[in-house]
Amino acid sequence: MLDVSAYLSRIGYTGSTQPTAGNLRAIHRAHLLAVPFENLDIGLGRRIECEDDAAVRKIVERKRGGFCYEMNGAFAALLRELGFRVTLLSARVAREDGGEGPEFDHLTLRVDLDEPWLADVGFGDSFLHPLRLQSGLEQPEGARTFRLVKDGDRLVLEMREGAKPWNKQYSFSLIPRRLKEFSGTCHYHQTSPESHFTQKRICTMATPEGRVTLADYKLIITRSGQRQEQMLNSEEERAEALKRYFAVVL
C-alpha cells in the first residue's frame, strides 16, 4: 500500500490533500519542484518496469526521479490514494520533422473534479500547474502560454513562448488506458539505439526561479529568464552536480 505521508514528505508538501482543483495545482507544482525528470537508470543498464509500485519506491525511498511512465504512474497512484479520480492517457510526442511518435509514446493524466484537468509531471520542461482539459482555451503560465487544440478525435497540447509561434508538444486521445499497456514503448525507449533516452543522459528539474538541467556533461541553469551553461570535465564533477542540484546519488 502506498505510504501517502512518505510521498508527501518526499515532495515537501504539507498543505491540504482534499480532492480540489486548488490542491491539485499545489501538489502538482510541489512534485515538479522536488522530483527530477531523468533517465539515468537507462545508462546504467537498470531495467525500468511499467509498475506504479516500483516507481513509487524509486521516487520516495531511493529519492530518485524517472521518465514519464514512472513519474506519472507514481503521481497517479498518489492522487488516487488522496481521493482524486485519475485516468491514464496515451500521448504521441511531436517530432522535429513534424511527425509524431507512436501510440503510448508518452503517459499523461486526466484528473476529473468539477471539471476535467490535464496533469503531467513527466514531460520535463512543461507546465507547472495542471491545465483545464478544454479545447481552444489559452492558459498563460509566466512567459509561456499553453492551449489544447482539437484534431479529430484527439487533442493537441501546444505551447507558445512570448510572441513566438505555437509549438506542438504532444497529441492524445481520451481513451482510458492501463499502465501495462505502456510496457512495449517503455521497453523501446530504454533499449533502442534510436530512442533519444538511450542517446543522452538527462536530469532536469523545475526550480522556483526557473530550471536546472544536466545533459551528459553540460550543466544548464536558468534563473528569471537568464541562462547559464557550464561544461563539466569528469564523471566526478557530474556526480557532484547530480548530488548538489538534484539530491541524486547513483
Q: What is the pLDDT of residue 1?
A: 78
Res 58: pLDDT: 97
pLDDT of 150 > 90? The answer is yes
The one catalytic residue in 28, 50, 52, 68 is 68
Determine whether 68 is an active site residue: yes
pLDDT at site 121: 98
Average pLDDT, the chain: 96
| Residue of 242, 161, 152 whose CA lies nearest to 204 | 242
Active site annotation includes 186: no
Residue 225 confidence (pLDDT):
84
The total domain count for the chain is: 1
**pLDDT band with cut points at 50, 70 and 90 for residue 55:** very high
- Give, for 250, the enclosing helix (H) or strand (E): none
pLDDT above 90 for 98: no
- Residue 221 pLDDT more than 90? yes
- Give yes or no: 105 in active site: no
Q: Which strand (E) or helix (H) includes residue 216?
A: none
Mean pLDDT confidence for 120-144: 96
Q: Cβ of 89: how many Cβ atoms within 10 Å?
A: 22
pLDDT at residue 97, as a whole number:
86
**What CATH number did the domain enclosing 239 receive?**
3.30.2140.20
pLDDT at 2 over 90: yes
Only one residue has cell 544548464, namely 220
Strands 106-112 and 116-119: antiparallel
Range of the domain at 236: 4-246
* High-pLDDT (> 90) share of the chain, %: 94
What pLDDT does residue 132 have?
Answer: 98
pTM for the structure as a whole: 0.96
Dist CA 186 CA 67 (whole Å): 9
